[in-house]
Amino acid sequence: MTDVDWVSLDGELVPAEDARVSVFDAALLYGAGLFETMRIARRWVVDRDRHLARLESSARTLGLTVPPADRLRDRIEQWRERTQLRDGRVRLTITAGSIAGGSRFEPREPVTLVMGSPRSPAESERFRRGVTAGTTRFDGGSLAGHKTTSYLPWWLASRARRDVEEILLVDTSDSLLEGASSNVFAVIDGVVRTPPVRDRALAGVTRRRLLELADEARWPVQEQPVGLDELRRCDELWLTQSIGGVVPVVKLDGELIGKGAPGPWTLRALELYEGWLSRESS
């Protein structure tokens, strides 16, 4: 029995339809806020503390205030207990808060919102069979690398290509950055590569986890730039993201990748990640 119609607003559990955030909130007015989306697998909030660390790090870099990690952890777990969600996603949003009656640069208290949804069978099936992807030129500017509530550039990039299931973002020098909601791994000339993130792309929690697992398994992955021409001729391609884990890409810009089904490297990456997930969540 789950009840995801409940949300946690500043630590109080309320039915979603009763939850209210001020119309003067700086996230609504200026996009001043941060968020994290985490997977729930067998009631376990996957890599929760790494997500909270990333949120804190972005807050520090951007000069935004977020509540302490232990408070956020409690609120996420309290919401999960209330909803009894077993498999799905939980989204944590911290807005900068209301600016009513004061300076627009000095919002009052940040607002913490926790909400989520169950994983649908269709979603699981889509991740299993692999997704289609397309490429587009993109510049995320100074917000690249942060999950802010100013997500419009990523959102518009995805919306512009509704013919594919994920859009891969390429900079003006034709160098691959990330997916609009994922990081990217490609097998090129027999070598597994993923573009470095630095300040140009989100340091994905799943990307980092897979790199660590690959390292433990003595499986070489190179963090190296990937050009658009290399991407187009890759043998295998997969995405990493919290919600899907390791997600094979079967078609890029209308062309089949390999035979149009997950190849051996992709299957190995899936096995590494899924194996870790099932060990940790059991």
Ligand X SMILES: Cc1ncc(COP(=O)(O)O)c(C=O)c1O
Least distance (Å) between residue 73 CB and ligand X: 17
Of residues 180 and 221, the one with the C-beta less far from ligand X: 180
Least distance (Å) between residue 27 CB and ligand X: 17
**Binding mask 141-170 vs ligand X (x if CB under 6 A, - otherwise)?**
-------------x----------------
Separation between Cα atoms, residue 73 and residue 24, nearest integer Å: 27
Nearest partner of 135 among 264, 242, 227, 243, judged by Cα: 227
Of residues 135 and 241, the one with the C-beta less far from ligand X: 241
Do residues 144 and 190 touch, judged by C-beta distance below 8 A? no
Q: Are strands 221-223 and 176-179 parallel, antiparallel or unpaired?
A: unpaired
Of residues 99 and 246, the one with the C-beta less far from ligand X: 246
Of residues 67 and 195, the one with the C-beta less far from ligand X: 195
Contact residue for ligand X among 92, 207, 266, 277 (CB under 6 A): 207
Any alpha helices (H) in the chain, and if so which ranges? 26-30, 48-62, 69-83, 121-129, 152-160, 205-216, 228-232, 264-280
Backbone phi, then psi, for 273, in 5-degree steps? -70, -45
Contact residue for ligand X among 182, 187, 214, 257 (CB under 6 A): 182
- Determine the interface stretch with ligand X among 60-68, 92-100, 218-226, 240-248 (rule: CB under 6 A): 240-248
Do residues 72 and 93 touch, judged by C-beta distance below 8 A? no
**Binding mask 36-65 vs ligand X (x if CB under 6 A, - otherwise)?**
-x----------------------------
Least distance (Å) between residue 144 CB and ligand X: 8
Do residues 265 and 236 touch, judged by C-beta distance below 8 A? yes
Do residues 29 and 103 touch, judged by C-beta distance below 8 A? no
Q: Are strands 245-252 and 131-137 parallel, antiparallel or unpaired?
A: parallel
194 binds ligand X (CB under 6 A): no
Of residues 98 and 181, the one with the C-beta less far from ligand X: 181
CA 208, 149, 96, 83 dihedral sign is negative
Of residues 80 and 207, the one with the C-beta less far from ligand X: 207
Site residue total, ligand X (CB under 6 A) = 15
Separation between Cα atoms, residue 214 and residue 217, nearest integer Å: 5
Give counts: helices (H), strands (E), the chain. 8, 15
Of residues 111 and 184, the one with the C-beta less far from ligand X: 184
Of residues 64 and 203, the one with the C-beta less far from ligand X: 203
Least distance (Å) between residue 228 CB and ligand X: 18
Contact residue for ligand X among 115, 205, 249, 277 (CB under 6 A): 205
Least distance (Å) between residue 176 CB and ligand X: 12
Do residues 144 and 154 touch, judged by C-beta distance below 8 A? no
181 binds ligand X (CB under 6 A): yes
**Which residues of the chain form contacts with ligand X (CB under 6 A)?**
37, 154, 178, 180-183, 202, 204-207, 240-242
